[in-house]
Structure formats: C-alpha cells, structure tokens
Structure 1
Amino acid sequence: MQHPQLPGVVLLGDPHLGKAFKTGTPPHRMGDRDKIQFDTFKQSLLTIPDNTHLHVCMGDLFDRPHVPESLVLRVYRTYKQACAGHPDTTFVLIEGNHDASRDASKASSFDVLAHLLDGIPNMVVVQTDPQIVASAGQEYLFVPWVLGKDAEEVVAHLPSGCPFAAVFGHWDLDNFKGAEDLNVLPYETLSKVTDVVVTGHIHIAENRTYGDMLVIGTGSMLPCSHAEDPLEELYVTRSRKTVLAALEEKPDVYFNHHLRVELEPHEDPLAGIDCLSLTHKRVAAEGLEDVTTQVDDFDLKTIFFDVMAEEGVTPDLTDELWKQL
C-alpha cells in the first residue's frame, strides 16, 4: 500500500507468513490460503511502482519465531530478487513481536533470514536498535520491537533537532493491559521528532492524529480472521439461506473466501462447499451465540485428513485409507 503523506514509500502490513490455516479447511484446499499469503507478499516486493525509493515491511514477517526452513529460503530468495531488480529502492524489514525468539539462547527464523540478507546493499533489517535510513534526500527512522523493553525505552535516546520525514515501528495504538503493556506507541516522544508515524502490529488499518502528528496503522497484509475483515476481502458471514441461493446462481462464488454460515436453531450445517474454509455459527433467539468452537471442528473426515496431511501422507493414500474405514 501507499499513503499520500509518504510519496515513493510502499508499506507492507504484517504478512504473518507461516500461519496455519486449518480450521474448517476442506482437505483438497489445504495449502491454498498459504499460497495466497505468500503470493501477496511476493507481489508487494516484485511489482512496486517505478518511483518507489523505500519499501517497508512493518513487522511480523513470520507468524511465529520458528517456521519451516523452506519458507525462510523462499523469503530470502524473494527479497534477493526484489533488491536486484530494484537497485534504487531500499528494502527495510522491521522485526515484530511474532518474529522474535522468546529464548535469547535460540536463534529465530527471522535471525537466520537477517544473516542471509546481510551484505545486500539496498537491504536493511532492523533488529535490537532503531536505525536511521537516508532516502530521496530525507531521513527516516525505523524502530524494532525488542523483547523485554518498553517502547519508550527503545526510543529514549533519539537525536533532537533533526526531524525525520517519518518514523516506522511495531506498536499498539492503545493501552490494553495497563502497566503491563510495554508496547504502546510513544506518542509524546515521537511527536518531537516527526510529523508522521507508521505502525504495523494492529490487524485492522486505522489512521489517527496526535496533535499535529499523523499516525498511520497499516493493518495486516491480509486479514486472518472474520474479526479482522470488516470489508469481507477474504472472510464472509452469510445466513444458510443466502449461501444456498448464491451457490445456486454461481457454484464457485465462495471459492476464494473463508465462509462462516449462520444457522438458525432448527437448521443443519452445510457441507461440500468449495471454499478456503467452512465454519458455522448458531443464531440464538437473542442474536449470535458467543461460541468459539465451530460445528465443523467435529467432522471426523476433516480431522482424519488434517492428521494425515500433518504426518506427510499423500492425498491419494489418505483418500484410499479413508475409504477402507
């Protein structure tokens, strides 16, 4: 994404690569959402506008500290290709809270990636300490998430009197945990050194102001739940009646969506819909029940196919074994 306040800067919201998308996923669609996730990430790096001088990944590149080595290698190759194809663009990668290892004695996948990327001239990986990057005649400040450090502490020793064109980080916009929340955006401190702050971490895009300072929350690269997708880009909720009518008109209408079906007390769950995932939620007389367990979680066939996939059993053999049960 680009913001009018930051011409020539491409912002990539938290990608969360390596996130497991399994709940309600039909066996034959396993891996499809993972592919969408990586393809979107790859497109952001390789198809930037010609005038781009900065590309910034706002943190949480990975969904957890340790992801498969094959994924780390794919990400490395993508960044290497992007840097080589756009030598006039500086690519910045900020470490987020999902990227960092909680055990200082163990390297994370992000640590390994940072080591692989070291030495590429137009690649900057931001870990441990804030970094200043000069680009297009201006200076930008990049602030990582640091385990065990208060956000104020991380930016406590910024140079004064030299305003930055923008400051980028990985913060909460609001204090949700009281004194325990160490990651609240340091509004007052940053307002003294910049007029524009960009943050990842929050999952739904949001802009706000603090005095004269604009705060841009990028949101995640793609929504990862119904709660994170108010525009229904990927996650849709429909009544059973609406779903059946839509399928009658276009059988593949939900092919690239995570579908949640609202069921009246007397209605049965649906099955066999070709979608990224299918879940159900009961509607009580007074409204939606607040339940987290989906009807589909107890589908024996789905559980069987999920376990076989996790153990590396091929789809053909899994199907044959299922038929023998």
Structure 2
Amino acid sequence: MKPLYVLSDVHIGVTRSAGTTPTSAYALRQQIIQRFGELLTENVRDSDLLLNGDLFDEYQIPLHDLMKTYMLLSDWLMANPESQMYLGLGNHDLSKDSTKLSSAEFLGQILSQAFPTRVTVIKGAQAIRDNMYVISHVANQDLMDMELENVPDGTSYLFLHANYNNGFAQQSDHSLDVSEEQARKLAQRVGTIVFGHVHQYEHHMLGRPKGSTPAVLVVGNQIPSSVADCLGNDEKCGLRITGAGVELDPVWFAEQDFARVQWDDLPSYQGDANFIRVEGNADAAQAADVISLISKFRSKSPAFVITNAVKIGETDISEDLQITAEDVRSFDVLGAVLELLTPEEGEVVKNLLEKHHVE
C-alpha cells in the first residue's frame, strides 16, 4: 500500500495586511502557491495525498489562485497515476452560508470530474484507505461532538480539522475544538488523532509509553504565511504515514527564512529572511524613531512580512497576532458591552435596542 502524505493549512489566496506592503503581500500570495507546487513535486511523489483542511485562506479566493491550484493538483495527479487524493474541507474552505459554493468545493468538483476514481472530497465524516477516518470542518461544535462519537472502533488514524484542547474555540461555530477528555476517550479506540487547523507542532502521549506513536499529533502547517507561524518552530514538517508508522518530513527551516532583528539594528541588517520580527525595547521618546525605521525598512526590504514587536516602556505593541476578517465578524460587540455594565444598566441598553430594532 502506498504511503499517505498529509498537508494542511496551506492558505492559498491569503491576504495579509499587518506587517506588509501591497507589494510584499502579493509576493507572499505567489510564494505560497509556488511552495505548494514544490511540495507536491518534491515530497509527495508515489504517495496518496490528504489535504487536511484550509487549502484556501477564504471561501472565495482570486480566480488566478484557484486556477493555478487546479493546474498544480491536476499535474500531480497525472504525474502519479496510481495515487489517490483526498480533499478535506476546513473552516476557511467553506462559507458560513450553506447556499454558497466555495472555491474549495468548486475545485473539488472539477477535479472529481477530471479524475472520478481518484479524487475524494470530504465534507463531513468519511472513511478512507487503510482503516483511516477523516472528519472535515462541520457547522458547529455539537455536530463535531456527534461525529467524534461515531468514529469507528479500531480506526488506525483519525484526521480532524479542529483545535486541540482550546475551550475558547467552542465559543465560535467556525472554529471547533476537541478537549483533552474527548481525546483520551478516543485514544482508547483510535490509534492516532492527527489535527489540522493549528499551525504549530505539538504532540501528546496521553499516558502511552515513551517511544510509542503519540495519541495526539498536531502536525502544524508546512508553509508559513505570517510571523506568528514562525514563532516557536525550528522547522515545519509534512506527515508521511507508512506501514511502519508516522514520519515527520522537514520541509521548512526557521534559520533560512525567519529572523529576529533589534529595531536599532535595522539600518545595518543584511539578511534575506522572508519573515522578520522586529524586537527590542524603547522609551516613549524613541517611539517615533521605531515606527519610522520599521516603515523605511518595509518599503525597501524584499521580505514578505515584517512585524513590530518592540516594547515601548511598559506597552507591548506587537503586531504578531493575526486578526482576520472572520475574527472581526464573529466578535460579539453587544456581549462585550454588556459585560461592562451592571445587570440593571444592561437591561436598559437591551430595551433601547429592541425599541429601535437594532440587532
């Protein structure tokens, strides 16, 4: 049986605003597609392929990026005529409006028509080869919990697109979670739970003997699209599964692509990292100098993303946290306001909103 190679969270079509210029943001988009093609050609030869969610960054991406992705995947399928491809859909691949066909779903349909016996699109839960099982992103946490209960006993590998043990994720239907308690129960009847969605590597034995295959394996993404993706990683890996077990395949190295630079060293920086985190400390009188230096550096540097993590006095003005349009749309403004008010004040506000039909 062929090895299965797993990639996740490629985020083709990404549009970064923090830490970029229009030119560098476009260059980052093109680099992600290029690297994805290189991974297919160089690392996923003579293997089956599972894309474990978030191939795309939004439910609709630019047509140029969509067509380029189709060409890369169809070329890979033709170059590997005995291989299967499984396209698991992540939260970024789907619209919250079920009546809208996403770019990822459209890609899956045209690939399925071109290669009807070799391409499988997974939206929901589905068994695949070698006693493996995939659960894509689903509409809400209750559905995810139900799908987890229905995972067949004896499944060798369970692939999910969700957070691991992140209770905050359960507050948003577009970001799901598997608790440690759920994982422990699953581990009694499943070999290994492999997570997409989380961009940083981690693994958890959950009581299994040292040296055995982890119960939980969060592979992380393979192609960074932000400075936050680079933090805490010496390398990023694809996952290859063979009859002998799991193998992490290094495909990205921090020392080649990521740099931390002190803000007052920017004028003399000669490196070629694509992701740069500007660090250091400055007092209030130097704040304008920090912003000016970073702005000038961004305008001349070929780096994709340059974030400001300089601490001004006691204030951390880090830009590393990536805030997406999805985060903004899901923020409960009314709930945040009501938390600041007494119950009596809250009732007054809600009565006013109802009176004026404000939602």
* CA distance in structure 2 between the aligned counterparts of 1:200 and 1:178, rounded to whole angstroms: 14
Q: 1:207 aligns with which of 203, 208, 212?
A: 203
Q: 2:128 aligns with which of 124, 128, 133?
A: 133
Are residues 174 and 181 of structure 1, via their aligned partners in 2, closer, same or farther at CA, if it must alter by over 3 Å?
Answer: farther
**Residue equivalent to 2:164:** 173
* CA distance in structure 2 between the aligned counterparts of 1:276 and 1:56, rounded to whole angstroms: 28
**Residue equivalent to 2:183:** 187
The question of whether the paired residues in 1 share the 8 Å contact of 2:258 and 2:273 is answered with no
3-state DSSP of counterpart to 2:216: strand
**Residue equivalent to 1:122:** 118
Instruction: Answer with 21-30 or 73-82: which moved more.
Output: 21-30
**Residue equivalent to 2:339:** none
**Residue equivalent to 1:240:** 263
The question of whether the paired residues in 1 share the 8 Å contact of 2:90 and 2:161 is answered with yes
The question of whether the paired residues in 2 share the 8 Å contact of 1:240 and 1:261 is answered with yes
The question of whether the paired residues in 2 share the 8 Å contact of 1:259 and 1:276 is answered with no
Are residues 226 and 178 of structure 1, via their aligned partners in 2, closer, same or farther at CA, if it must alter by over 3 Å?
Answer: closer
* CA distance in structure 2 between the aligned counterparts of 1:29 and 1:178, rounded to whole angstroms: 31
Shift of 1:211: 3.6
Shift of 1:51: 5.1
* CA distance in structure 2 between the aligned counterparts of 1:245 and 1:236, rounded to whole angstroms: 14
Are residues 279 and 292 of structure 1, via their aligned partners in 2, closer, same or farther at CA, if it must alter by over 3 Å?
Answer: closer
3-state DSSP of counterpart to 1:152: helix
Name stretches of at least 5 consecutive residues in structure 1 with no aligned partner: 1-6, 248-252, 295-325
The question of whether the paired residues in 2 share the 8 Å contact of 1:91 and 1:123 is answered with yes
Q: 2:64 aligns with which of 70, 89, 93?
A: 70
**Residue equivalent to 1:43:** 38
Q: 1:19 aligns with which of 4, 9, 14?
A: 14
Moved over 4 A (4+): 291-294
3-state DSSP of counterpart to 1:34: helix
The question of whether the paired residues in 2 share the 8 Å contact of 1:15 and 1:61 is answered with yes
Please state if 1:277 is matched with 2:310. no
Q: Deviations over 1:226-253 (max 9, x none)?
A: 3331247345332123333433xxxxx1
Code of the aligned partner of 1:276: F
3-state DSSP of counterpart to 2:266: helix
Shift of 1:188: 4.2
Shift of 1:75: 1.4
Q: Deviations over 1:147-190 (max 9, x none)?
A: 13532212333333xx2221111121113228646722241453
The question of whether the paired residues in 2 share the 8 Å contact of 1:226 and 1:236 is answered with no
Give TM-score, length-normalised by structure 1: 0.74
Give the CA RMSD over aligned residues.
2.9
Q: What percentage of residue pairs aligned between the two structures are identical?
A: 19
**Residue equivalent to 2:193:** 197
Are residues 226 and 255 of structure 1, via their aligned partners in 2, closer, same or farther at CA, if it must alter by over 3 Å?
Answer: closer
Are residues 242 and 196 of structure 1, via their aligned partners in 2, closer, same or farther at CA, if it must alter by over 3 Å?
Answer: same
Code of the aligned partner of 1:184: D
Shift of 1:277: 3.5
The question of whether the paired residues in 2 share the 8 Å contact of 1:25 and 1:276 is answered with yes
* CA distance in structure 2 between the aligned counterparts of 1:50 and 1:143, rounded to whole angstroms: 25
* CA distance in structure 1 between the aligned counterparts of 2:37 and 2:309, rounded to whole angstroms: 34
Are residues 125 and 259 of structure 1, via their aligned partners in 2, closer, same or farther at CA, if it must alter by over 3 Å?
Answer: same
The question of whether the paired residues in 1 share the 8 Å contact of 2:84 and 2:118 is answered with yes
* CA distance in structure 1 between the aligned counterparts of 2:11 and 2:261, rounded to whole angstroms: 26
Shift of 1:116: 0.9
Are residues 178 and 146 of structure 1, via their aligned partners in 2, closer, same or farther at CA, if it must alter by over 3 Å?
Answer: closer
Q: How many pairs are equivalent?
A: 276
* CA distance in structure 1 between the aligned counterparts of 2:68 and 2:123, rounded to whole angstroms: 21
* CA distance in structure 1 between the aligned counterparts of 2:19 and 2:319, rounded to whole angstroms: 13
Q: Deviations over 1:189-215 (max 9, x none)?
A: 532432111110111111112344521
Code of the aligned partner of 1:62: F
Code of the aligned partner of 1:220: N
**Residue equivalent to 1:148:** 140
Are residues 31 and 76 of structure 1, via their aligned partners in 2, closer, same or farther at CA, if it must alter by over 3 Å?
Answer: same
Higher helix fraction: Structure 1 or Structure 2?
2
Q: Deviations over 1:232-289 (max 9, x none)?
A: 7345332123333433xxxxx1353345354623244321432223443443344x62
